[in-house]
Chain A
Amino acid sequence: MSEVQTVENMVSITIDGVDYKAKEGEYILNAARANDIFIPAICYLTRCSPTLACRLCLVEADGKQVYSCNAKVKEGMEITVSTPDILAERRAMMEVYDVNHPLQCGVCDQSGECELQNYTLELGVDSQSYTIQDTKREATNWSSVLHYDPGLCIVCERCTTVCKDMIGDAAIKTTKRGGEALDKAWKDEMPKDAYAMWNKLQKSVIAPSNGTEHTNCSDCGECVAVCPVGALVSRDFVYTSNAWDLKKIPATCAHCSSGCQIYYETKPASIEDRTEKIFRVTNEWNYVSLCGAGRFGYDFENRTATKDATTFAAAVKAFKKAKVINFNSVITNEEALMLQTLKEKLGVKLINREARAFQRFLGFYSEASGQSLYSLDFKEVMATDFVMSVGSSLRNDNPNARYAFNNVQKLNKGAGLYFHPVGDTLVPTFGKNIEMFAHKVGHEEAALLFIIKLFADQDKLPSSVKEQLDSDFVELLGGDTAKFEKSFEKMMKKKESFSLMVGEDLYFHEKAENLAKLIAVLEASSEVKVAMIPPKTNSLGVALICDLDDEAEGYTIGYNESGDFKLSALGDGDLDMPAMNQQEGTLTNMHKRVTPTNAALEYNGYVLNDIVREVASAPKETIMWTEHLPVSKGFKAVEFDSLPNHYTNDGVEHRGYLLESTSVEVEEISVDKFDDSNALEGEIAYRCNPQRQFNDFSDKAHQIFEGFGLYTSPAKAEALSSKVEVEFANGKLTLDVIVDERMEGDIVAIPDFKSAENIYELFAGSRYQTVTIKEV
C-alpha cells in the first residue's frame, strides 16, 4: 500500500461515465473505494481474500455482471454500479438477510453501527417478500472473551475470513445450520444471485473449527471487530452500552511495538460513578488488525494518582541526587526525550535493557549496511511473496509480524521459512509452502548463512562469508536435505519479492554484531529486504532518542521498573505517573512510524514533565516536546497537534509521520567465522511471553487471563509436575507449569511481563539460558 503509484502501474477506468485512475490488478471494489465511489458490500474485507458470500457488490463491467470484490480492473473498463437488474438483485438480497433476523434492534449491541441496518435503509427495503421457517439457534460463549449469537448472524463469513487470512488461527468455520430447505419455487420467482445467496445462507452458521463448543485460538477478538451485525460481541461488552453513547478517542496501542491504531471508547462508568471508563477498544479493521492484548487489555489506567505536594517534593529531591534512571520501553517519545535531556543536564545514566540491546544491534547493522534504519516496514513485508523469520517466536513476540507472515501465505500465494529453536504447531498451518527449522539455540548465524546461501548472488559476497557457505546447513539446522531441496524448488516458483523478519533473539545474542553484519551482507547481495521487530512498545523510539548506558550504579530512579525511588503508572510506586491510556504523546512503532496517541481517561496526578520542569527546564505541556524530537535521527520537527491520525478509503495510513532513513557508503563487510559448537545444550529456558501478555499493563487488564508461569509443550508438561522450581545460575523461581498447546519441543518459556520478577537479570543479557528444573 505504501508503494509509489507510478504512471506505469495505473490503468484508466470509467465508473458511471466518469474517468478514474486505478492501480493495475486492483479489484474493482477497492478501485472504486479509493476514488470515493460507493458500491454496497458486506462480506469483503480489505487485505483478505474475497469470500463472495453477500454478492451485494454486483456491478456491470463492460456489459457483464461481475462481483466487484473479485473482478480486477482492466485498462479501459467501463463500470456501471447500478442497473435496474442489479438494484433488483440487491433489494432481494437485503430482503433475504432480513428474513427471520430479529427486529428488536433496540437491545442489540450493534444497533447504530450495524451494516444490516444501514444497507436495509440504503437500499430502501420497506417490505418483505420472502419467508421461511426459522431454525432454533442458541447463543453460546466460544471462549473467555467471545460471545456468539447465531440468531443475529447473517453468515457473511467475515469472521472466518479474517481469522484465516489475517490472524492465521482459522479457529472458526461455517458449519451446517440444519434449517429447512429452500422451497424450489423461489428459484423462479426471485433474482438469481439473491436465490443462490439465500440457499447458502439458509444452510450455514458459524462454529469453532475444532468441532468442540469452544475455539482454540489466540483470543484476538478480530472476529468481533469485523462482525457487521451484533452476532459476535465480546463477553465483557454484551449489552453494556450503545455504540452512540461511547466517545471514540483515537490512540495508539501501547502494548507492543506494532503500535496499532485503536480507538478507546469511553463513557461514564455507571449512574453512581460518573468518571469516564473505557468500555471497549475498536480499530479500523479494514486496515489494521489487533491482537488480544490490544483489544481486551485496555483497563490499565492509574486511578490512584492525586497531586500530593510532599511526595512530589520527595520525587524532585530524588531526581536531584539520582545517578541512574532505570526505565522500560512503555514510554512515549516525549518522555524518552525528557530523560535524555536529564542525562545531558544532570549527567544521570539511562538504563533500558531491551531498548539498549536493540540499539546496539541497530547500530551494528547501520555500520555494516550504511542505512540508519532497517529496510522494510511490516506493511511492505505483507506485500512480499516470500517471507522468512529468524530469531523471533512469531506467535508470541509480535502479533503484526505473525499476521504479516500468515497474510503473505494466504493472499500472495507465498512461501515462508521459519527458523526458531522453540517448535510451533501453528506456523506450519499458515500455508502449504512453509518450512520450519527448529534449530539449536546458538545456531542463529547458521540460519542467516543458510538464507545467504539460498538467495545471495555469489559474486557479490565478501570472501569471509563465501568461504563459510559450503556446509550442509539444512542438516545442521535440523532438517532433511533431500526433502528440503525438493520443497524449496516448489516454494521458489513465481516468487518476486523476498523479506526477512528478525527478532529479539538476535539482539540479545552474544554474537549480535556478527548477526547484524550477516543481515547487511544478505541485503547487499540479494533481493531479500529486512524488517526488524523492536522488542517492546517504544524500543525503537527509545533507541533513537536516548543515549543508553550498559551498566550503572548508584541511587536509582525506577520508572515502571525497580529503583530506590519508584515512579509508577501502576499505582504501586512512590510517585504516580499516568498510564499510556491517560497521556498524550507519540510512539515510534515497528513500521518506522511516529504515531500520536491521545488521553482517553482523566489523570489527576503529576507527570514526568512536572518533575523535569523542577530539576531542569521544560515547557508547559508534555506534547510540546514533540517538535524537538531529534531530526538527526529521522524524526521531524512538527507540532503534536498537527499530526494526522486516520486512514483514507484507499487504505493509505495517515498517522503521524514516517521516520526518515539516511544512508551512507560503506566498505566491504568482514564477518566472523561461525562456530557450530556454540550451541546451548541441556535444559533450556526461553524468555518469552504468552500470546496476550506484554508487560505489567496488559497483566493488569481484567480480560487478560494468561498467567505468570512456566509455559511448556504438552509433551514436556507430562514430564513435569504441576509446580516446579527453575534454577538459574544467579537465582531461582517457583512457577506453575502451564501447557501451551501450540508449543513443541523441550525448551520451556518463562514470561518477562512482570517487571517485579526481574526476569531479565536471571537471563543475564540473553534470551536463552540453561536451567535446572526441579519438582516441588
Chain B
Amino acid sequence: MSLEQFKNRNVGTQNYKTLDLDHTPVTGMGQFKQVVSRTFKPELFVGLWVTFREMINALFRGKMHTTQYPFEKLPISPRYRAIHDMLRLLESGHYRCIGCGLCEKICISNCITMDTQYDENQRKEVSEYTINFGRCIFCGYCAEVCPELAIVHGPRYETASEQRASFSLFEDMLTPIDQLNLQQEYQGFGAISPNADENIKKTPLAY
C-alpha cells in the first residue's frame, strides 16, 4: 500500500484563491455616483411595464399563470428526488435497512453516516443513521444502490426549517408505523424494473 498519505505533515496550510472583483467605491462621491447610475437606467421601466402588463392580463383577462402555493401544489414526478424516506417492510413493520453501508459508500458528497451493532437477536442493527442535508446534493445514488429498497427519495420538497438537522435522523425519515398502510413504493432510481423477472436466473432449492 502507498505510504504517501502518511508523509504529508502539512496539515496547517490551505490553498485559498481570492476572486478578482471590481473595486467597491470608497469615497462618498464614488458611492453616490454608483447609486445614481444604477437607479436611473432605462431597464427599470422595461421591468415595470412587463409587471403592469401581466397584472392587467391576470386581473381582467383571466390569464393567471401562477399557482396559489401553498394552497395549491403542482403534482411531482415519481422520480423526483426530494428529502429521503426510509421504508418499512409491509409484512412485519420492521425497517428495511440492513445496515450494509452501500449508501454511505456511494454517497458522492459524503453526507451519509451510520452506526451499526450486533443486537440481541444476533442481527445487524442500525443504531443510528444520519444524512447531512447541508451537504446532500440529492443525486439519488443512495436510493439507486440500496439493495433492500429501504432508502428512497420521498415527495417532500418543502425543506424550510430552523435547522436542517430536523430531517436527518433515521426516525425522521422512517415511515411512521401507524401510517404503514399509506407507504408508497418508490418508482425512481433503484426501483425494480417492470421486466425484472425476465432478467434473473433462478437458484435451485432443495425443498
Q: Do A and B interact?
A: yes
B21 at the interface (CB under 8 A from A): no
Task: Give me 29 A-to-B residue pairs in the complex whose CB atoms sit less than 8 angstroms apart, sorted by A's number.
Answer: A106-B101, A107-B98, A107-B100, A107-B124, A128-B201, A128-B204, A130-B204, A131-B204, A131-B205, A139-B122, A238-B118, A239-B99, A239-B117, A239-B125, A240-B117, A240-B118, A242-B100, A242-B101, A244-B101, A244-B105, A250-B1, A250-B3, A268-B113, A270-B128, A271-B113, A271-B128, A584-B6, A599-B6, A645-B3
Contact check: which of B6, B7, B99, B130 meets A107 at CB < 8 Å? Answer: B99
Q: A104-B98, A106-B147, A107-B99 are in contact. Are A128 and B203 (CB under 8 A)?
A: yes
B61 at the interface (CB under 8 A from A): no
Question: Which positions in A face B, CB cutoff 8 Å?
Answer: 104-107, 111, 126-134, 139, 180, 238-242, 244-245, 248-250, 268, 270-271, 584, 598-599, 621, 641, 645-646
In the complex, what residues of A have CB within 8 A of residue B118's CB? 238-240
In the complex, what residues of B have CB within 8 A of residue A180's CB? 206
Contact with A along B78-118 (1 / 0, CB 8 A): 00000000000000000000111110110000000111111
In the complex, what residues of B have CB within 8 A of residue A248's CB? 1
B9 at the interface (CB under 8 A from A): yes
Q: A106-B147, A131-B206 are in contact. Are A126 and B116 (CB under 8 A)?
A: no
In the complex, what residues of B have CB within 8 A of residue A104's CB? 98
In the complex, what residues of B have CB within 8 A of residue A239's CB? 99, 116-118, 124-125
Q: How far is the CB of A591 from chain B (nearest CB, A)?
A: 20
Q: What is the bound-complex CA distance between A757 and B70, given in angstroms?
A: 73
Q: What is the bound-complex CA distance between A584 and B8, given in angstroms?
A: 13
Q: How far is the CB of B172 from chain A (nearest CB, A)?
A: 14
Instruction: Please name the residue on chain B nearest to A111 by beta carbon.
Output: B100
Judging by beta carbons under 8 Å apart, are B125 and A621 in contact? no
B207 at the interface (CB under 8 A from A): yes
In the complex, what residues of A have CB within 8 A of residue B115's CB? 270-271
Q: How far is the CB of A104 from chain B (nearest CB, A)?
A: 7
In the complex, what residues of B have CB within 8 A of residue A249's CB? 6
Contact check: which of B125, B130, B207 meets A271 at CB < 8 Å? Answer: B130
Contact check: which of A106, A132, A134, A641 meets B99 at CB < 8 Å? Answer: A106
Q: What is the bound-complex CA distance between A111 and B1, given in angstroms?
A: 20
B123 at the interface (CB under 8 A from A): yes
Q: How far is the CB of B12 from chain A (nearest CB, A)?
A: 13
Judging by beta carbons under 8 Å apart, are A646 and B206 in contact? no
In the complex, what residues of A have CB within 8 A of residue B102's CB? 106
Given contacts A271-B115, A599-B6, 4 further A-B contacts (CB under 8 A): A107-B100, A111-B100, A238-B118, A250-B1
Q: What is the bound-complex CA distance between A126 and B200, given in angstroms?
A: 10
Q: How far is the CB of A179 from chain B (nearest CB, A)?
A: 11
In the complex, what residues of B have CB within 8 A of residue A241's CB? 116
Q: A107-B124, A245-B105 are in contact. Are A641 and B1 (CB under 8 A)?
A: no
Q: What is the bound-complex CA distance between A132 and B207, given in angstroms?
A: 8
In the complex, what residues of B have CB within 8 A of residue A270's CB? 115, 128
In the complex, what residues of A have CB within 8 A of residue B98's CB? 104, 106-107
Q: What is the bound-complex CA distance between A507 and B146, given in angstroms?
A: 61
Q: What is the bound-complex CA distance between A645 and B98, given in angstroms?
A: 37
Q: How far is the CB of B88 from chain A (nearest CB, A)?
A: 17
Q: What is the bound-complex CA distance between A127 and B202, given in angstroms?
A: 8
Judging by beta carbons under 8 Å apart, are B204 and A245 in contact? no
In the complex, what residues of B have CB within 8 A of residue A646's CB? 1
Contact check: which of A129, A242, A599 meets B204 at CB < 8 Å? Answer: A129
Q: How far is the CB of A303 from chain B (nearest CB, A)?
A: 19
In the complex, what residues of A have CB within 8 A of residue B113's CB? 268, 271
Judging by beta carbons under 8 Å apart, are A126 and B204 in contact? no
Q: A133-B206, A271-B115 are in contact. Are A127 and B3 (CB under 8 A)?
A: no
Judging by beta carbons under 8 Å apart, are B100 and A126 in contact? no
In the complex, what residues of B have CB within 8 A of residue A268's CB? 113
Instruction: Please name the residue on chain A nearest to B146 by beta carbon.
Output: A106
Q: What is the bound-complex CA distance between A621 and B7, given in angstroms?
A: 12
Judging by beta carbons under 8 Å apart, are B101 and A245 in contact? yes
In the complex, what residues of B have CB within 8 A of residue A129's CB? 204
Q: How far is the CB of A488 from chain B (nearest CB, A)?
A: 47
In the complex, what residues of B have CB within 8 A of residue A111's CB? 100
Q: What is the bound-complex CA distance between A621 and B1, given in angstroms?
A: 24
In the complex, what residues of B have CB within 8 A of residue A131's CB? 203-206
In the complex, what residues of A have CB within 8 A of residue B104's CB? 242, 245
Instruction: Please name the residue on chain A nearest to B122 by beta carbon.
Output: A139
In the complex, what residues of B have CB within 8 A of residue A645's CB? 3
Q: What is the bound-complex CA distance between A240 and B104, given in angstroms?
A: 14
In the complex, what residues of A have CB within 8 A of residue B147's CB? 106
